[in-house]
């Protein structure tokens, strides 16, 4: 069946080439046009002579010149027509022979008429929609293992690692990007922010150094100023924190997204508003001990505490404060799926207490959990 289709297509291609050559009626010989023109010219001369527009001598001269041209146009018609038909025949033969002679061997060499269709499942699996972000990240990580000098790759993958709870890997990626691509205020600030996320909102000494380096490169960088102000507030340096946040507020564009939270921090520090939840340096002995651990061990300890809280709430879900701490912890650790589950479980456990359910929903909205 496929070969019949190919034969038909070849025939169509040949006819497309031969059709213009077969249109003799449409492409009249140029001699015929000349004959008609000069014949009409001689008739026009006769009319002008009869109307007195030309005298006898002028009319005779015009007729003579027209007749001469007419005779030249009519001379040897058979030879020109023969050459035209011969050329058309040669072109037709070349088309009939050349098109199949070239196309058939070319297809036999390159084509695959018996190749089966790709199965539907395979086509679906290869669709771009199935190539999810996790797969792309895995490929980037493999690329970085093979090409550890690719600073841009580290910079691309770092935010994803941070959002998916791989804090230490994110810090390493940000650090490599900084080392390989060069120091910029944004890169120092991104590394510092990753350290703050792992420390559950506490601006550690290492993070503070990153923000100070960012500020040295760009004294007006909002993210560096904000975290330096937060570090001062957490360390109890109230006046310094007010100074930093005041500077940040003064330099912020009127429509800056961060302006509202800066004003809230200032109001809290000045005692003009009810204190907002703010991450502070750990005050308990256990908190100080955890903060002093190396980053990897600190993250492991924090995750262990969070899991113990989750187990406690699973056994007894009446503690709304516990649910709020758990939801906030999962949000800080970028464990979005666990955070969603914690919100659902909390609402189920507190279903008979609408006011407390409302607090859970408000926190979920505040930390950006969509459930």
pLDDT band at residue 121 under the 50/70/90 scheme: very low
Tokens of 289: 């001990």
- Tokens at 324, concatenated: 């709020």
Mean pLDDT of 59-79: 52
pLDDT of the residue at 165: 74
Neighbours of 137 (CB within 10 A): 16
Q: Which ranges in the chain belong to alpha helices (H)?
A: 2-22, 30-50, 56-74, 77-110, 120-125, 133-146, 151-163, 167-181, 185-198, 205-217, 222-234, 238-251, 259-269, 285-291, 295-315, 320-332, 336-349, 354-366
Q: What is the pLDDT of residue 264?
A: 85
- Model confidence band, residue 315 (pLDDT cutoffs 50, 70, 90): confident
Question: Whole-angstrom Cα distance, residue 261 to residue 279?
Answer: 14
- Residue 27: what pLDDT? 45
How confident is the model over 280-304, as a mean pLDDT?
A: 62
- Condensed to tens digits (0 to 9), the pLDDT of residues 228-270 reads 999 998 888 999 999 999 999 998 888 887 788 888 888 888 8
pLDDT at residue 309 greater than cutoff 50? yes
How much is the average pLDDT of 95-110?
A: 70
pTM: 0.44
Task: Please determine, for residue 283, whether its predicted confidence score (pLDDT) is greater than 90.
Answer: no
pLDDT at 280: 46
Question: What's the average model confidence in pLDDT over 151-155?
Answer: 92
Which of the residue ranges 30-39, 207-216, 242-251, 275-284 would you say has the lowest mean pLDDT?
A: 275-284
Lowest mean pLDDT of 100-109, 207-216, 332-341, 350-359, name the range: 100-109
Residue 20 has pLDDT above 50, yes or no: yes
Cα(22)–Cα(19) distance, integer angstroms: 5
- Judge whether residue 68 has pLDDT over 70: no
pLDDT digits (tens, 9 = 90+) for 180-228: 999 999 999 999 999 988 887 889 999 999 999 999 999 989 999 999 9
Tell me what pLDDT residue 362 has. 79
Percent of the chain with pLDDT over 90: 22
- State mean pLDDT over 296-320: 83
Is residue 195 within 8 Å of 207, Cβ to Cβ?
A: yes
Model pLDDT, residue 123: 45
Tokens of 281: 């340096």
Question: How many whole angstroms separate alpha carbon 327 and alpha carbon 337?
Answer: 11
pLDDT for 320 beyond 70: yes
Q: Do 243 and 266 meet the contact criterion of CB atoms below 8 Å apart?
A: no
Inter-residue contact 328 to 201 (CB < 8 Å): no
Q: Report pLDDT for 172.
A: 94
What's the pLDDT at 53? 62
Mean pLDDT of 268-273: 76
């Amino acid at each position: 069946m496929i070969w019949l289709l190919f034969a038909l297509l070849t025939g169509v291609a040949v006819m497309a080439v031969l059709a213009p050559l077969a249109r003799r009626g449409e492409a009249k010989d140029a001699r015929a046009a000349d004959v008609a023109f000069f014949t009409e010219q001689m008739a026009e001369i006769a009319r002008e002579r009869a109307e007195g527009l030309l005298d006898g001598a002028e009319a005779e001269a015009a007729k003579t010149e027209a007749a001469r041209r007419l005779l030249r146009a009519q001379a040897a018609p058979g030879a020109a027509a023969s050459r035209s038909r011969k050329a058309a025949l040669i072109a037709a033969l070349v088309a009939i022979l050349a098109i199949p002679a070239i196309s058939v061997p070319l297809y036999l060499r390159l084509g695959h008429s018996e190749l089966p269709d790709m199965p539907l499942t395979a086509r679906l699996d290869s669709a771009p929609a199935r190539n999810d972000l996790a797969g792309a990240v895995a490929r980037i990580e493999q690329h970085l293992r093979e090409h550890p000098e690719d600073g841009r790759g580290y910079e691309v993958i770092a935010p994803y690692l941070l959002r998916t709870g791989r804090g230490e890997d994110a810090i390493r990626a940000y650090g490599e990007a900084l080392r390989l691509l060069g120091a910029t205020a944004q890169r120092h600030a991104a590394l510092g922010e990753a350290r703050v996320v792992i420390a559950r909102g506490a601006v550690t000494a290492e993070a503070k150094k990153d923000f100070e380096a960012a500020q040295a490169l760009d004294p007006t960088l909002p993210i560096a100023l904000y975290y330096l102000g937060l570090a001062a507030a957490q360390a109890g340096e109230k006046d310094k924190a007010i100074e930093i946040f005041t500077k940040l507020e003064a330099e912020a564009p009127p429509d800056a997204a961060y302006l509202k939270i800066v004003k809230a921090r200032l109001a809290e520090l000045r005692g003009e508003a009810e204190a907002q939840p703010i991450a502070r340096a750990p005050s308990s002995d256990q908190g100080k001990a955890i903060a002093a651990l190396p980053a990897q061990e600190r993250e492991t300890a924090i995750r262990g505490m969070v899991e113990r809280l989750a187990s406690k709430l699973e056994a007894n879900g009446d503690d709304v404060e516990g649910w709020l701490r758990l939801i906030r912890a999962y949000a800080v650790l970028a464990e979005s799926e666990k955070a969603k589950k914690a919100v659902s479980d909390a609402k189920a456990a507190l279903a008979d207490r609408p006011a407390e359910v409302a607090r859970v929903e408000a926190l979920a909205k505040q930390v950006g959990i969509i459930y």
